[in-house]
């Protein structure tokens, strides 16, 4: 054995590799680690003068799924030919996977490096030693695999009996007989029950988080390091609430195997273990009615279905969360041609115009699209008609639910106050028992006592403020009954929560199928109600330019008259100069005037039509008659000349027929009058062709 080591080996650096598989072994198996370090003395006895110990990988497994910096550094130094001997207590410390083990043997055989353990010295260049090293490496990997399967089988057998608990959910602790029991702290129990109650009421985890943050309520969480029934109180977050409402253990079921690990290739081709979450109900072990639950199994299943539908999917027919947008049928509207869910688009930055559209296939054009305001109004009227008979009963239930919600908040604050008083009292008792001369301890206990007292004062102020707020803003049963009599006004009120209206629609309506009728402007609507009744409606589509609000008749009539003599750009200028706005409060532009004309079938200004029909402005009429514009204006004021003035600041609009009648009347008047010697007969210019001017005159 010693003959294998030559001067060229002992003259180079000798590396002693020390490793244990986990941090638990590092803490508990101190003797094993001591034996590994004693290999240094063996190397010195073999003649090695420079021994380097690499123990950077303590607490890391050698299965190949963890990056080992110490092992990588050792392989790099061996590759450079600077190492003559690589030693370990046994070969399983070097590697427990074939990939790393054979890589090390191959490199050692190339650079002539010996391998040493507590039994022998191995030369990778010799066939017998290489065979023996290969067997030991395979046995090491096989041993690890056998141990892993043995432990997994033991855990699975224990889990099948419902006795395997890796991490207890918050709100539970182990009882005397090993079964789960509710945490004896009533504050924890009520907090978990409140989370489930609000999630069933509001229908979304995000709304529960916002509600609890608005009322400054905390939830119990289990942080790393907490054991048994220990917990900490933290502000409500989406992750905290989600871990509670999606865990089947809260409905009394035993669950094991909610996640599983999958091995895949990571960076640099090294395998790594990735944790994946199994789908709801696809767990390895699921045993119902094993312990007392915080929520019934029926309510828990309904809650999971509700949360699953909150994830919107047009192909899987998930409606998504009822948001605050103006589209009443978002999530329940489906295309009658391709069966996909229809998307919602909003016209304008303030989300006033609602448009439903079906995109169809990825490489195809839009399937169908239409303005959804009228359809939303139709479904809203039908829903109000359905719920109106039960409005009074709903008002009574709303009053009762409002009272229960106020009691929940007040009860949570009272429990927080009771816990804060206990913490402050405990800190005071600890401060009283400490030696006053021991200032290092007394100062810390005094600080805790002061913080506890401040917490008590803060909760007392919040409890008083909450009580006053409830007394001031809580609606009475009489007020709710009055609102129930006028349910239509409540439904159309701007202050009504849009997400609540959508949830009411989804409670009554399964889905709405729409299609565009061929040869008409109708939208064919089929409503599938939850009770199994199907109702068909027809809604007329709006034309381009029509909006949810009607443009005033004054503006429409003015545009109809101005379009005879002016283009759209000039009409928009005069509408703006008169201070007129669109139904949505926006200024008039060329595009908006064009859309208005299209919606009301107003012809566009054309020079040919303008010349053929004989429409002209006051200046053009004065040029035709051969007088000044002031003379024509006086004739209009006297009623001698017919003209129209659409707006306060706008051109006068005169037709050529009125000009001809005006000239004829002036000629008759001049012929019937007796002219004096000082008077001359009025001379009129011949009728000339009306010129066209593009200028804009007020």
Give the residue numbers marked as catalytic.
Answer: 21
Q: What is d(CA 499, CA 462) in angstroms, rounded to the nearest whole number? A: 29
Considering only CA atoms, give the Rg of the chain.
44
CA neighbor of 565 nearest in space, from 630, 599, 614, 598: 614
CB 211 within 8 A of CB 195: no
* Sheet (strand 343-347) strand order: 343-347, 353-358, 368-371
Query: How many CA atoms are closer than 13 Å to the CA of 397, on its beta-carbon side?
Result: 5
Buried b / exposed e over 340-362, threshold 16 CB at 10 Å, is bbbbbeeeeeeebbbbbbbbeee
* 368: enclosing H helix or E strand: strand 368-371
Identify the burial level of 563 via C-beta atoms within 10 angstroms of its C-beta, where 0-12 means exposed, 13-18 middle and 19 or more buried. Answer: buried
Q: What is d(CA 184, CA 188) in angstroms, rounded to the nearest whole number? A: 8
Residues 302/307/308/310 CA torsion (nearest 10 deg): 130
Q: What is d(CA 432, CA 66) in angstroms, rounded to the nearest whole number? A: 52
Query: Which alpha helices (H) appear in 46-165, and where do they start and end?
Result: 69-79, 98-111, 127-160
CA neighbor of 90 nearest in space, from 132, 112, 119, 130: 119
Give Cβ neighbours of residue 141 (< 8 Å, ≥ 6 apart): 96, 97, 98, 101
Q: Encode 36-76 in three state secondary structure.
A: HHCHHHHHHHCCCCCEEEECCCCCCCCCCCCCCHHHHHHHH
Beta strand 121-122 pairing with 114-116:
antiparallel
Q: What is d(CA 423, CA 493) in angstroms, rounded to the nearest whole number? A: 48
CB 141 within 8 A of CB 101: yes
Q: What is d(CA 375, CA 381) in angstroms, rounded to the nearest whole number? A: 10
CB 325 within 8 A of CB 344: yes
SS3 at position 384: helix
Paired strand residues for 53: 16
Question: In degrees rounded to 5, what are phi and psi of residue 478?
Answer: -65, -40
Displacement of CA 678 from its chain's centroid (Å): 91
Buried b / exposed e over 49-80, threshold 16 CB at 10 Å, is eebebbebbbebbbbbebebebbeebbebbee
Going along 266-352, which residue ranges are E strands? Answer: 271-277, 285-287, 333-335, 343-347
* Sheet (strand 121-122) strand order: 51-54, 13-17, 83-87, 114-116, 121-122
Annotate 325-339 with DSSP letters as a single string: SS-TTTTTEEETTT-
């Amino acid at each position: 054995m010693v003959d294998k080591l030559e001067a060229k080996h002992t003259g180079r650096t000798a590396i002693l590799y020390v490793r244990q598989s986990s941090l638990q072994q590092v803490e508990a198996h101190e003797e094993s680690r001591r034996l590994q370090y004693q290999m240094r003395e063996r190397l010195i006895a073999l003649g090695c003068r420079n021994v380097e110990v690499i123990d950077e990988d303590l607490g890391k497994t050698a299965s190949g799924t963890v990056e080992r910096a110490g092992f990588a550094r050792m392989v790099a130094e061996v590759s450079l030919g600077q190492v003559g001997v690589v030693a370990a207590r046994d070969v399983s410390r070097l590697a427990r996977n074939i990939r790393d083990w054979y890589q090390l043997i191959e490199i050692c055989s190339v650079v002539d490096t010996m391998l040493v353990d507590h039994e022998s010295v191995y030369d990778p260049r010799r066939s017998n030693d290489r065979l023996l090293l290969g067997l030991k490496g395979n046995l090491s990997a096989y041993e690890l695999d056998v141990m892993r399967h043995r432990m997994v089988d033991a855990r699975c057998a224990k889990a099948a009996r419902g006795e395997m608990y890796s991490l207890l959910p918050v709100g539970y602790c182990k009882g005397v007989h090993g079964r789960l029991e509710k945490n004896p702290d009533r504050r924890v129990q009520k907090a978990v029950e409140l989370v489930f109650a609000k999630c069933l009421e509001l229908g979304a985890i995000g709304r529960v988080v916002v509600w609890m943050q608005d009322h400054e309520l905390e939830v119990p969480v289990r942080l790393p390091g907490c054991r048994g029934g220990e917990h900490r109180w933290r502000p409500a977050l989406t992750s905290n609430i989600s871990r509670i409402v999606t865990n089947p253990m809260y409905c009394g079921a035993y669950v094991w195997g909610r996640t599983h690990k999958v091995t895949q290739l990571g960076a640099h081709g090294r395998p790594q273990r990735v944790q994946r979450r199994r789908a709801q109900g696809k767990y390895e072990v699921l045993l119902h009615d094993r312990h007392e639950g915080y929520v019934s199994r029926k309510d828990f299943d309904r809650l999971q279905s509700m949360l699953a539908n909150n994830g919107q999917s047009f192909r899987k027919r998930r409606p998504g969360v009822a948001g605050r947008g103006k589209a009443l049928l978002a999530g329940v509207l489906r295309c009658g041609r391709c069966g996909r869910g229809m998307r919602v688009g909003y016209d304008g930055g303030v989300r006033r115009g609602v448009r439903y559209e079906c995109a169809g296939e990825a490489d195809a054009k839009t399937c169908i699209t239409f303005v959804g305001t009228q359809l939303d109004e139709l479904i809203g009227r039908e829903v109000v008609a359905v719920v109106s008979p039960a409005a009074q009963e709903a008002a009574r239930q709303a009053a009762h639910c409002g009272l229960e919600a106020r009691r929940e908040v007040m009860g949570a604050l009272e429990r927080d106050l009771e816990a804060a008083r206990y913490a402050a009292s405990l800190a005071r008792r600890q401060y009283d028992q400490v030696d006053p001369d021991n200032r290092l301890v007394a100062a810390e206990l005094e600080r805790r006592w002061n913080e506890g007292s401040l917490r008590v004062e803060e909760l007392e102020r919040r409890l008083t403020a909450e009580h006053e707020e409830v007394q001031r803003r809580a609606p009475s049963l009489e007020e709710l009954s009055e609102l129930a009599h006028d349910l239509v006004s409540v439904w159309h009120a701007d202050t009504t929560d849009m997400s609540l209206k959508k949830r009411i629609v989804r409670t009554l309506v399964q889905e709405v199928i729409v299609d565009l009728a061929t040869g008409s402007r109708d939208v064919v609507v089929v409503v599938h109600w939850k009770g199994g009744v199907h109702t068909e409606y027809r809604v007329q589509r709006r034309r381009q330019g029509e909006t949810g609000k009607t443009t005033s008749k004054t503006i429409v009539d003015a545009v109809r008259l101005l379009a005879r003599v002016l283009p759209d750009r000039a009409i928009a200028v005069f509408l703006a100069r008169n201070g007129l706005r669109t139904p949505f409060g926006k200024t008039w532009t060329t595009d908006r005037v064009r859309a208005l004309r299209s919606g009301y079938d107003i012809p566009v200004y054309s020079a040919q039509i303008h010349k053929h029909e004989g429409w002209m402005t006051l200046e053009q009429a004065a040029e035709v008659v051969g007088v000044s514009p002031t003379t024509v204006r006086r004739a209009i004021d006297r009623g001698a000349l017919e003209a129209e003035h659409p707006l306060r600041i706008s051109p006068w609009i005169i037709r050529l027929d009125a000009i001809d009648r005006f000239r004829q009347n002036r000629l008759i008047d001049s012929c019937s009058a007796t002219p004096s010697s000082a008077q001359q007969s009025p001379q009129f210019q011949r009728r000339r062709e009306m010129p066209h001017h593009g200028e804009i005159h007020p």
